[in-house]
Amino acid sequence: MSTCPWSLVAIAALGLMACGDDPDAADGTGGASSSSTSAASGGGGASAASTVGVGAGGSGGTGGDGAEVLTNTPLCDFGTNVHPLEGEYGHWAAARLTPPSYPFEVQSIRYELDVFNEGCAAFAHDVFVFVESAIAPSATPTEIERWTIAVGEAEGAVARPLTSPITLQTGEHLFIAVEMAGTSPASRMCIRSCREHQGTSVFLPERNYWSNATATPLPWADLQTFNLLDNYVVEALGPPSR
């Protein structure tokens, strides 16, 4: 895996930013690597910018539309992205989200893709959700729902409502896995991530995983295994809090 910076100013202006792979990132066994730059304003992307609050054991808050939001990036001013390296196309990036209290009803999901940096491109890809009580995702996760995202939708924020809401019970975590498609270092998907807020790392260990394979069994690894201290901009939304 590798990472590149992204800027909210560039995104708003539909501009492009150039970057290269981080020479210090470890990718010998597959996984993410990254490079970064300061974003122009707070928020881990367009969607995360509207979330507030961090719950115990995970992230929670209220989105701008009043929905209860689970996110690992409630605050971000140092934006990056994570993308596959040669030989890693089709691997999966998965985030573990935990509600601050139970039960928690998940009604929809969303995540942020970067198409503004050099080498980042829109690709048709799959995304699926699953629920587990374990901290690390299973090598053979039981999919609850899967979507195929068309290439024309794979830019910026991608959102999907669940066919049926998922109610997380005590001790359960929601995992959202995004297929990281690509064909070359000059054309591959980039999922936005957050590294820092106000000069302080916001990385949450055992929250961000890379599959290291395209199909089960998936030998998931934490991003920190590859010296990447990034949180994916991946969220789950529930009904407005009462």
Q: Which of 172, 146, 173, 174 is nearest to 160 (CA)?
A: 146
* Number of residues that make up the chain: 242
Note the pLDDT tens digit of each residue in 208-240: 999 999 999 999 999 999 999 999 999 999 998
Q: What sign for the dihedral angle of Cα 233, 46, 58, 97?
A: negative
Distance, in Å, from the CA atom of 134 to the CA atom of 68, rounded to the nearest integer, reads: 23
Three-point CA angle 131, 105, 74, nearest 5° = 85
Q: Which tokens sit at 213?
A: 């394979």
Mean predicted confidence (pLDDT) in 16-33: 34
Domain boundaries defined on the chain: 2-240
Distance, in Å, from the CA atom of 162 to the CA atom of 74, rounded to the nearest integer, reads: 22
Contact 116, 190 (CB under 8 A): no
Whether residue 165 is predicted with pLDDT greater than 60 in this model: the reply is yes
Whether residue 138 is predicted with pLDDT greater than 60 in this model: the reply is yes
Note the pTM of the prediction, 2 decimals: 0.81
Q: How confident is the model at residue 55, as a pLDDT?
A: 33
> Using 50, 70 and 90 to split pLDDT, how confident is the model at 63?
low
Contact 129, 174 (CB under 8 A): yes
